[in-house]
Each structure stands twice: as C-alpha cells, then as structure tokens.
Amino acid sequence: MEDRGREKARARAQKFVSLLHRGVITEPEMVRGIIDGLEPDHIDEFVSFYPDFVRDAVRRFVESAPKSDSEWGKFRIFYIGPESAKALALAKIEFRRNTEALREFFGLVS
C-alpha cells in the first residue's frame, strides 16, 4: 500500500474506533463502515490498523455473512449516494466482494 493509502486507511481506522468509543456509532455500523472502505488487495495491511476487538467484530460479521447468491440477494445494505438502482447494486457488489475477501483472509472459506 502506498504511503498515502496507508495513512488514509490508518485515519479511517482511528475514526471508526473513536466513533465507537464515543457512542456515536454501534459495533455493527462500525463493522459495515470498515468493510465499505476495504481495499481487498491490501487486506492484511488494512486490518492490521485495527485493535483486536475490532478485528474480532469484523470476523464475527464475516462468519455470519451471507454465503450463497440467494442469501446475498436478501441482504440489505445502508447506502448513501446517488439515488439509482445501478449505484445501489454496485455498492452491494462491492460490499459482497469485500466481505468475501475478508472471509478468505480470515481462513473461513470452505
């Protein structure tokens, strides 16, 4: 990860942990925010910015996340952005890709 990308990821990590500790967001909101900002090619570096309790929370989500196309079809995400079916579909695809990359990272692929 380039230095700029590394610093951006570190700042994002610190932001989410701070928001959680201050009670501004819940653990599930934190986890989803983390997954949204993930760069699958740099998971090991990105995940290393988080304390153990955050990595554990992300892992618990990934363990319980949908696995099949049918399950993902029923999964809902919170999305802020352009109001279009295409933008929402792309956000959902990216969230699934990031979740599956984390599943592989954590060794949860069967």
Question: CA gyration radius for the chain?
Answer: 14
Rounded-to-integer distance, Cα 77 and Cα 31, Å? 12
Residue 1 has pLDDT above 70, yes or no: no
Domain residue extents for the chain: 3-105
Q: What is the pTM of this model?
A: 0.85
Tokens found for residue 55: 């990595």
Q: In the structure, what pLDDT confidence band is assigned to residue 4 with cuts at 50, 70 and 90?
A: confident
Asked whether the beta carbons of 49 and 76 are under 8 A apart, the reply is no
pLDDT, mean of residues 50-58: 91
Rounded-to-integer distance, Cα 6 and Cα 66, Å? 29
Residue 9 has pLDDT above 90, yes or no: no
Residue 22 has pLDDT above 90, yes or no: yes
pLDDT for res 2: 62
